Amino acid sequence: MNFRTYTPAGYADYADYKKVSLLTFFNQLISNLHCQQSLQEIFFENILKMIVIVMGVSGSGKSTIAEGISQTLKLPLYDADDFHPITNIKKMATGQPLNDEDRKPWLEELANHLANCELEKGAVLACSALKERYREVLASKVQSSKLIYLDGNFDLIFNRMNNRKGHFMKAEMLQSQFDALEIPIYGLHVDISKPIEEIIETITQYLKF
Q: Which tens digit of pLDDT belongs to each residue from 83-95?
A: 999 999 898 888 7
How many CA atoms within 13 Å lie on the side-chain side of 114? 28
pLDDT at 63: 94
Q: For residue 201, is pLDDT > 70? A: yes
Q: What is the mean pLDDT of residues 139-167?
A: 87
Q: What digits encode the pLDDT tens for the residues 27-59?
A: 555 555 555 545 555 555 555 589 999 999 988
Task: Identify the CA nearest to 64 among candidates 187, 162, 164, 172.
Answer: 164
Q: Where are the domains of the chain?
A: 11-46, 49-208
Q: Predicted confidence band at 199 (pLDDT cuts at 50, 70, 90)?
A: very high
Give the C-alpha separation, 73 to 47, whole Å: 8
Task: Identify the CA nearest to 192 among candidates 147, 146, 160.
Answer: 160
173 DSSP 8-state letter: G
Q: For residue 1, is pLDDT > 50? A: no
Angle at 192 between CA 187 and CA 193, to 5 degrees: 145
97 DSSP 8-state letter: P
Q: What digits encode the pLDDT tens for the residues 157-198?
A: 988 877 766 655 566 778 888 999 999 999 999 999 999 999
pLDDT greater at residue 158 or residue 107 = 107
pLDDT greater at residue 101 or residue 24 = 101
Cross-strand partners of 151: 191
Q: For residue 209, is pLDDT > 60? A: yes
User: For the domain 49-208, what is the CATH superfamily, name and number?
Assistant: P-loop containing nucleotide triphosphate hydrolases (3.40.50.300)
pLDDT at 171: 67
Residue 124 sits at φ, ψ, to 5 deg, of -115, 120
Give the global pTM: 0.74
